Amino acid sequence: MDREQEIRSIAYQIWEYEGYPDGRDMEHWLKAEAMFREQEQRGSEPSRQASPDGEQRRRRRSRGVIGLM
C-alpha cells in the first residue's frame, strides 16, 4: 500500500473509533500522518501496530484494522 493510501486507512480507522464525527477530517488526517511517521521510523506497518491513542494493541480483524477495543 502506498503512503497516502495507508494514511487514509489510518484516518478512517480513527474516524470509526471516535464514533463517526462530522467535521474532524483534517484532525484525523493529521493524527494519521503522525502515526504513520512514528511507525515508519520504528520500521513497522502503521495501521497494524498502533491505535489512535498511540497504545500498542492486538489486531481484532483479519484485514489489518486497528484493534481498538
Cell of 29: 488526517
CA atoms within 13 A on the CB side of 56: 6
Reading the chain (69 residues) residue by residue, the pLDDT tens digits are: 899 999 999 999 999 999 999 999 999 999 999 999 999 998 866 555 445 554 434 333 333 445 432
Cell of 40: 515508519
pLDDT score recorded for residue 46: 54
Residue labelled with grid coordinates 503512503: 3
- What is the pTM (predicted TM-score) of this model? 0.63
- Collapsing DSSP to helix, strand or coil, 50 comes out as strand
pLDDT score recorded for residue 1: 80
Which phi and psi (to 5°) does residue 50 adopt? -125, 145
pLDDT score recorded for residue 50: 47
